Structure 1
Amino acid sequence: MSLDRYPKEIILKDHTEIVLRPIEEGDLDNMVQFYKHLQVPFRWFLKEDPCDPEIIQKWIANHQMRKAFFLLAVHDDQIVANAILLMRLYGGRKHVGRLRIILAPDFMGKQLGNWMIFDLTKRAMEKGLEKLRADFVVGVEDRSIKAFQKMHFVKEGLLTDYVQDEKGNYHDYQIMTKQINQEFSDF
């Protein structure tokens, strides 16, 4: 699996120039700052606190150990989005990758998320994965749900009142998947 295609320069629909590249050891402080500048609802539902440098260091280590592929979107030397393809190296779900994408609010609606989904789908194909999964909090991540549907992810399950927000309100949890067709690995 080649990293030769990075860094990759892309142009968003508003003509903003972005560089997509894998995370590096030196990105720790910028990643912490990226998450600290997000409103609480955008980071609350993650499994770990991304404002803790030790958590980001663990994510970087997982990238280096190939348990995950961590993609950053950079504009003017600032991280404006990150996406991750999580992979299991063993067991009954090693054929399934999980996607998570988080964008700074100023970069939503500009198709940056679509670029990142495409890139991680290609990476999943190269890794031989057969299916992708993405999970969303209904009422908080509705724009993401629509974007993933446009990328041919289908709703597989809805867990009602499954997660709580920072104020104690319950939200449904949407699970979506996409079957990967290996014949289209050159898209």
Structure 2
Amino acid sequence: MPFSKHGYPRPLILKRGEEVWLRPVRPEEDDKEIFAFLSRLSAEDRWYLDFDASDPETVRYHFIKYNPNKILPIVATNDKGQVVGLATLERSHPSARGHIGRVRVVVQPFYRNQRLGTYLLLDLIQLAVNVGLRVLTASFIKGVEDNAIRAARRLDFFEQAVVPEYAKDSRGNRYDLVIMVKRIHRGYDDF
């Protein structure tokens, strides 16, 4: 399993000095805490997720009963054991897209702008290297997830495409979808 040699649990110190821990999802232990985390997100935050956070089967598929050959979920927990961040690395089956992964990161509002999302994304990049991926993709809604776009750019993601007026908010306002790509380098000889 790719998690075994990745150094979990991994402590992090956020900008305000709080310690959080990154680790893989523990299916038998994290079920309730993941649902609690998703329920603490505002209705607006849940609106922009690309999965239905209110559907228990969807949540279990992605984060609890996941197939480790397809989805690698990690959580960030605070000192009370609460999940405060959730991230996934999704892989295609071995085929023409078998070298490509997709990343998703969700952070509780209180923990935003503390670099937690950046740390989670960085951890997913390292996981991608460990499992042999060569390309990562991420999609963001421009005008809503601008901080996440900036964080991805700092980690060498670049805009591959912008799909105009692709997403909409709950009031019907339309937003562009930004598709970002990162090429994974394993060593200096890749440059």
TM-score of the two chains, using structure 1 as the length reference:
0.92
Number of the residue aligned with 1:90: 94
Residue 140 of structure 1 aligns to a residue in which SS? coil
Query: Which residue number in structure 1 is paired with residue 170 of structure 2?
Result: 166
Q: Name 1:181's counterpart in structure 2.
A: 185
1:135-157 Cα distance to aligned partner (Å, 9 max, x none): 00111101100111111110110
- What corresponds to 1:22 in structure 2? 24
4+ residue runs over 6 A deviation: none
CA drift of 1:165 comes to 1.6
Q: Following the alignment from structure 2 to structure 1, what is the Cα–Cα distance between the partners of residues 134 and 26?
A: 27
Q: In structure 2, what is the equivalent of residue 151 of structure 1? A: 155
Q: Could you say what the CA RMSD is over the residues aligned between the two structures, in angstroms?
A: 1.4
1:66 corresponds to: 69
Alignment-derived partner of residue 112 in structure 1: 116
Shift of 1:2: 4.4
CA contact (8 A) 1:80 1:103 kept: yes
Cα contact 1:29–1:53 (8 A) shared by 2: no
What's 1:121 paired with? Answer: 125
5+ unaligned residues in a row in structure 2: which ranges? Answer: none
CA distance in 2, matches of 1:22, 1:66: 14
CA pair 43-53 structure 1, distance change in 2 beyond 3 A: same
AA of the residue aligned to 1:3: S
Contact 2:24 2:74 in 1 (8 A): yes
Which position in structure 1 is the counterpart of 2:10?
8
CA 105–94 in structure 1, closer or farther in 2 if over 3 Å, else same: same
The number of aligned residues is 183
Q: How far apart are the structure 2 equivalents of 1:172 and 1:2?
A: 35
Secondary structure of residue in 2 paired with 1:176: strand
Q: Name structure 1 gaps, 5 residues minimum.
A: none
- Using the aligned pairs only, state the percent identity: 32
Q: 1:37 aligns with which of 15, 40, 48?
A: 40
Q: Match of 1:182, SS?
A: coil
How far apart, CA to CA, are the structure 1 residues paired with 2:47 and 2:4?
A: 31
Could you say which residue in structure 1 is the equivalent of 2:144? 140
- TM-score of the superposed pair, with normalisation by structure 2: 0.90
Cα deviation for residue 8 of structure 1 reads 1.1
Q: 2:89 touches 2:101 (CA, 8 Å); kept in 1?
A: yes
